[in-house]
Amino acid sequence: MKIAVASGKGGTGKTTVAVNLSLFLVDADLKVTYADCDVEEPDGHLFLKPEITLKHRSAVLVPQVNPEACNLCGECGAFCRYSAIVVLKEEVMTFPELCHSCGGCAYVCSVQAITEVDRYIGSVDRGSAGKLNFISGCLDIGQAMGPPLIKAVLRNITDDGITIVDAPPGTSCPAMTAVGDCDYLLLVAEPTPFGRHDLELMLQAVGSLPMPRGVVLNRVSGPDTAIEKLCSRYGVPILSRIPEDRRVAEAYSKGLTAWKAVPGYKALFADLWSKIEPVAGRYTA
Amino acid sequence: MRVAITSQGESLESRLDRRFGRAAFFVAVNTETGEFAVHDNTQNLNAAQGAGIQAGSNVVGLNVEALITGNVGPKAYAVLKAAGIRIYLAPDGTVAESLQRFKDGLLDECLSANVAGHWI
């Protein structure tokens, strides 16, 4: 069972919820994997402090052109919708950072002048934090394309227990790649105008995805009627309200988990899980 | 000599488009005869990425020796340089004014990208 923790806006508490939910489930003697798919800035490891036992580099395929074989026909350049390969009068230029690794250029080349070669974009770490399985992807500095590495992280989930996917923020390709095949989508939002706005973007972005979903409001300190109305308009339940609490921020700043630092958190996550589990379980079945 | 100029419109009186990759039009002019042809760049205007590269490739296809525009990023510059097209940077003005400044030798040749690339 895969639960994705996502949000439209950054900084709403995805990692806080994902890490604490993971720890709660482990404490309940369940088999759990925490998968950090926020590959541009993974931070789950700061709180879980895992022991990394396996680290591997992750690559995408990009075209390499053999100028001896190339007849400059231009088919590859015409095929590529990302302008990652351009045929000029006397040479073919490639822009690997724009390539989406579809292999189309090599496929349409009639003289086999294109070979697909590895281009390393980041690494995937595996390990454990106590009984919790830990997987995390990290893009190399300067790399801009997260989805291939996010897919590599998701491929590494071999466990048949519960996986908590910590998704990247936003509503674009990286976020969609991370949540696309989950069994339950947990959206973390903050009750601010900005938070409400970006939650709506996310509800729209995932509108056509089939899995059940629910919202956790984080850092709640007052009434939140605007966000309640929004959720009811989209037919998405608000599962939990995590109160604004300075002790959580203080623990966070020290790399500690709210789970350990603040009394009452266990009950909060127990309640949250009791609402997710039956719905996600029915969907998986 | 054949010269391409980035333009916001379809005539010589249109304003120069200071963007290269996402220029609205390319006006290809024969400086000896004054003949010109207009090429639509709308497709690149809406490209998610790689507009500079594709525009560079399209300009190469126009068989021009020089390009007059406002700004050129690193990827577009790489394409144009590889094809041996010289790039001249013009200030604001119409296509005709920019062409005249070019003929008068008033435009600086661009010897490296003059603006940074965009994120992917």
B35 within domain boundaries: yes
pLDDT for A207-222, tens place per residue?
999 999 999 999 999 8
Domains, chain A:
2-31+160-284 (3.40.50.300), 60-120 (3.30.70.20)
Q: What number is the average pLDDT over the span B51-57?
A: 91
Say if residue B49's pLDDT is above 90.
Answer: no
Alpha carbons A100 and B50: distance in angstroms, whole number: 12
State the nearest Cα–Cα gap between B93 and chain A, in angstroms. Answer: 30
Which residues in B have their CB inside 8 Å of a CB on A? 47-51, 53-54, 56-57, 60, 75, 78-79, 82-83, 119-120
B34 within domain boundaries: yes
Alpha carbons A105 and A116: distance in angstroms, whole number: 9
**Residue B117: DSSP 8-state:** P
B42 within domain boundaries: yes
B108 burial via Cβ count (<10 Å: 0-12, 13-18, 19+): exposed
The half-sphere exposure of A59 on its side-chain side, counting CA atoms within 13 A, is 8
pLDDT band, residue B119 (cuts 50/70/90): low
A–B interface: beta-carbon pairs under 8 A: 41
Say if residue A242's pLDDT is above 80.
Answer: yes
Share of chain A above pLDDT 90, in %: 85
Range of the domain at B83: 1-51+74-88
pLDDT band, residue A6 (cuts 50/70/90): very high
Structure confidence at residue B81 (pLDDT): 94
B116 within domain boundaries: no
Say if residue A260's pLDDT is above 80.
Answer: no
Alpha carbons B37 and B19: distance in angstroms, whole number: 19
Nearest to A98 among B49, B79, B82 (CB): B49
Among A12, A9, A102, A31, CA closest to A62: A102
What residue type is B83 in one-letter code?
Answer: A
B9 within domain boundaries: yes
pLDDT band, residue A284 (cuts 50/70/90): confident
What is the total count of domains within chain B?
1
Structure confidence at residue A259 (pLDDT): 79
Contacts of B47 in chain A (CB under 8 A): 83
pLDDT for A152-210, tens place per residue?
999 999 868 999 999 999 999 999 999 999 999 999 999 999 999 999 999 999 999 99
Contacts of A95 in chain B (CB under 8 A): 50, 53, 75
Structure confidence at residue B44 (pLDDT): 82
Q: What pTM did the predictor assign?
A: 0.85
Please name the residues in contact with A212: beta carbons below 8 A apart, sequence gap of 6 or more.
A184, A185, A279, A280, A283
B68 within domain boundaries: no
Alpha carbons A193 and B16: distance in angstroms, whole number: 41
B80 within domain boundaries: yes
Question: Is B83 in Cβ contact with A86 (below 8 Å)?
Answer: no
Q: What number is the average pLDDT over the span A242-261?
A: 88
Question: Is B49 in Cβ contact with A83 (below 8 Å)?
Answer: yes
Query: Which carries the bigger pLDDT value, residue A280 or residue B48?
Result: A280
Say if residue B22's pLDDT is above 60.
Answer: yes
For residue B42, the surrounding DSSP H or E stretch is helix B42-45
Say if residue B59's pLDDT is above 70.
Answer: yes
Token duo for residue B58: 């399209």
Say if residue A275's pLDDT is above 80.
Answer: yes
Taking a C-beta distance cutoff of 8 angstroms, is the pair B97, B75 a contact? no
B96 within domain boundaries: no
Say if residue B120's pLDDT is above 60.
Answer: no
Question: Is B57 in Cβ contact with A86 (below 8 Å)?
Answer: yes
Residue A97, classed as helix, strand or coil, is helix
Question: Is B50 in Cβ contact with A98 (below 8 Å)?
Answer: yes
Say if residue B18's pLDDT is above 60.
Answer: yes
**Residue B15: DSSP 8-state:** B
Taking a C-beta distance cutoff of 8 angstroms, is the pair B36, A69 a contact? no
CATH number for position B78: 3.30.420.130
Q: Assess A78–B contact: CB distance below 8 Å, yes or no.
A: no
The whole-chain average pLDDT of chain A stands at: 94
